[in-house]
Chain A
Amino acid sequence: MKGIVSLIVVLGAWQGAGWAGWLNPHLLPPPTEILQAFRETAAGGVLLGHALASLNRVLTGLFYACLVALPLGVLAASSRRVRGYLQPLIELLRPIPPIAWIPLAVLWFGVRGDRASNFITFVAAFFPLFLHTFSGVRHIEQLHLNAARSLGASRRMLLLDVALPSALPFIITGFRISLGFAWMCVIGAELIASTSGLGYMIEINRSMLNTANVMCGMITIGVIGYLMNEGIMLLERRFSWRPLQ
């Protein structure tokens, strides 16, 4: 309730300032103009097209990240040897922000097509997923493992029926963080290394001084990010048989 009040006050003041002529519309267009931009971009399907392009890249990167990070995380957690080989590598690569890979991605994959952006979302999604899978599997209680082993569980059952389900709440949290991170990074990648997507849309409109469209793109980015996060939170609550950390 209070949130809505403050929102209305800010929007009202903003609109009022616009009408009073205190704002330079090229720098900060009033809400009505942004609304108009929404109508125009949505009407031709332009906005939807860009949003779908960005989403597609996020999901592609996330898909490959799952493919690599999940098995690697389980392996690293369950084998001391694998852990020994992987840890230094991961620790060296992890502090490099995914967007710092953009220049390299452009060199490798070019700016046309999706591959550069897909690569960036893959890098962004990989680390949270890997680390959460790793610590999820590492935190399986010894008692559960003992019970399972005493009941005669094979390695396969230990993995599929004990380790993975017990780590699932961690993995879903990792998935949520990866998704949010990949969403931020895809916009960054599209600003530079793409010819479509919401990031491209706000950059191209900036260069044309079409500020209302820039803000319309920004708001769309925010709303989609919020919705994705909420969606996975629902999933998290559904699978939280242990209190979430």
Chain B
Amino acid sequence: MIRVTAVSKQYAGGREAALQKASFEVRKGEFFCVLGPSGCGKTTLINIIAGFVKASSGQVLFDGKPVDGPCRDRIVVFQEHNLFDWMSVAANVEFGLKAKGVPAAERCRIAGEFIDLVHLKGFETAYPASLSGGMKQRVALARAMAVDPGCVLMDEPLGSLDSQMRERLQLEIMALWEKTKKTILMVTHDIEEAVFLSDRVALMSKAPGGISEIVNISLPRPRTAAVKATPEFQKLKRELSEKIMGDR
């Protein structure tokens, strides 16, 4: 579904490459994580796949076609707070549907459904400024999912949340994924998060980032929070952290 081949990025004025020959493939319907330390080029990678930024070399194919520019088949959930502050929760979630030309009544119904899915019923008319960080990211998730994209690109969507909220939202993302069967490509620096959510994890090396290895996460599904306590989970976590350490 997404095929990234030897993608590098050198920003004009950057001292060294932000991304170095990254290659991997994301399969349809899969939950794929890219795990890498801060500053290794994760956001750069997402921006290239999304079509916001052009790669310096290499190629990104989406459904067999080269990516040139953003498209509603690849929706991004951003690292920073990025809701439209001047719109209510419902209007934010409806934005992509409106762009798609969905009639108003239908828009309202679909938005309501997704707002419900992220447990924000009752907040339809609230404005982003009055929501907590976790609620904002929930709205962003609903906004992305509501347009029914081919895949969702998530750039550390839980990076700015406290650990409790993080764990709750991990479960919600998992539930959303199971319900919608979307392909999800998520980047994160949190090992536990990557292991818990993913079918496969790509390890990104320290700057300049490239993909050093891809690890299968064969934990059974559906997964619940309890899986984190199992020896298999702990073993995978240890393995990944050793691999990341070894890389340094």
Genuine A/B complex: yes
| Chain A residues with a Cβ under 8 A of chain B | 143-144, 146-154, 157, 161-162, 165-166, 168, 241-242
Any chain A CB within 8 A of the CB of B11? no
Please indicate the chain A residues that have their CB under 8 angstroms from the CB of B86 in the complex: 165-166, 168, 241
Contact residues, B36-74 vs A (CB, 8 A) = 50-52, 69-72, 74
Contact residues, B49-104 vs A (CB, 8 A) = 50-52, 69-72, 74-76, 78, 80, 82, 84-87, 95-96, 98-100
Nearest-neighbour CB distance to chain B for A172, whole angstroms, equals 12
Kindly name the residue among A148, A157, A242 whose own CB sees the greatest number of chain B CB atoms within 10 A: A148
Q: Closest residue to B86 on the A side, CB-wise?
A: A165
Nearest-neighbour CB distance to chain B for A149, whole angstroms, equals 5
Kindly name the residue among A147, A151, A153 whose own CB sees the greatest number of chain B CB atoms within 10 A: A151
Q: Is the beta-carbon distance between B70 and A150 smaller than 8 angstroms?
A: yes
Please indicate the chain B residues that have their CB under 8 angstroms from the CB of A166 in the complex: 84-86
* B76 contact from A150, A153, A161, Cβ within 8 A: A150
Nearest-neighbour CB distance to chain B for A131, whole angstroms, equals 21
Q: Is the beta-carbon distance between A161 and B95 smaller than 8 angstroms?
A: yes
Interface of A is mostly: helix
The 9 closest A-B pairs by CB, nearest first: A152-B72, A151-B96, A152-B99, A165-B86, A150-B70, A149-B70, A241-B85, A153-B99, A143-B82
Question: What bracket does the count of chain B residues touching chain A fall in?
Answer: 20 to 34
Any chain A CB within 8 A of the CB of B107? no
Please indicate the chain A residues that have their CB under 8 angstroms from the CB of B147 in the complex: 151-152
Nearest-neighbour CB distance to chain A for B156, whole angstroms, equals 14
Please indicate the chain B residues that have their CB under 8 angstroms from the CB of A157 in the complex: 98-99
Q: Is the beta-carbon distance between A143 and B78 smaller than 8 angstroms?
A: yes
Please indicate the chain A residues that have their CB under 8 angstroms from the CB of B78 in the complex: 143, 146-147
Q: Is the beta-carbon distance between A144 and B75 smaller than 8 angstroms?
A: no
Any chain A CB within 8 A of the CB of B129? yes
Please indicate the chain B residues that have their CB under 8 angstroms from the CB of A147 in the complex: 76, 78, 82, 84
Any chain A CB within 8 A of the CB of B24? no
Please indicate the chain B residues that have their CB under 8 angstroms from the CB of A148 in the complex: 84, 95, 99
A153 to B98, CA, bound (A): 8
Any chain A CB within 8 A of the CB of B143? yes
Nearest-neighbour CB distance to chain A for B187, whole angstroms, equals 16
A154 to B70, CA, bound (A): 12
Contact A152 to B71, CB < 8 A, known contacts A157-B99, A165-B86: yes
A146 to B74, CA, bound (A): 12
| Chain B residues with a Cβ under 8 A of chain A | 50-52, 69-72, 74-76, 78, 80, 82, 84-87, 95-96, 98-100, 127, 129, 143, 147
A143 to B76, CA, bound (A): 11
* A144 contact from B72, B74, B84, B99, Cβ within 8 A: B84
Q: Is the beta-carbon distance between A154 and B99 smaller than 8 angstroms?
A: yes
Nearest-neighbour CB distance to chain A for B2, whole angstroms, equals 15
A148 to B98, CA, bound (A): 11
Kindly name the residue among B78, B80, B95, B129 whose own CB sees the greatest number of chain A CB atoms within 10 A: B95
A162 to B114, CA, bound (A): 22
Q: Give 5 A-B pairs besides A148-B84, A149-B52, A242-B85 with Cβ atoms closer than 8 angstroms.
A: A143-B80, A149-B69, A150-B75, A150-B76, A161-B84
A144 to B52, CA, bound (A): 12
A153 to B94, CA, bound (A): 12
Contact A146 to B71, CB < 8 A, known contacts A152-B147, A241-B85: no
Q: Closest residue to B83 on the A side, CB-wise?
A: A147
Please indicate the chain B residues that have their CB under 8 angstroms from the CB of A165 in the complex: 84, 86-87
A54 to B104, CA, bound (A): 45
Q: Is the beta-carbon distance between A150 and B95 smaller than 8 angstroms?
A: no
A152 to B129, CA, bound (A): 24
Nearest-neighbour CB distance to chain A for B158, whole angstroms, equals 18
Q: Closest residue to A164 on the B side, CB-wise?
A: B86
Please indicate the chain B residues that have their CB under 8 angstroms from the CB of A151 in the complex: 72, 75, 95-96, 99, 143, 147
Please indicate the chain B residues that have their CB under 8 angstroms from the CB of A146 in the complex: 50, 52, 70, 76, 78, 82
Nearest-neighbour CB distance to chain A for B37, whole angstroms, equals 23
Q: Could you pull out 16 A-B pairs where Cβ atoms are within 8 angstroms?
A: A143-B82, A144-B84, A146-B50, A146-B78, A147-B76, A150-B50, A150-B72, A150-B76, A151-B96, A151-B99, A152-B71, A152-B99, A161-B95, A165-B87, A168-B86, A241-B86
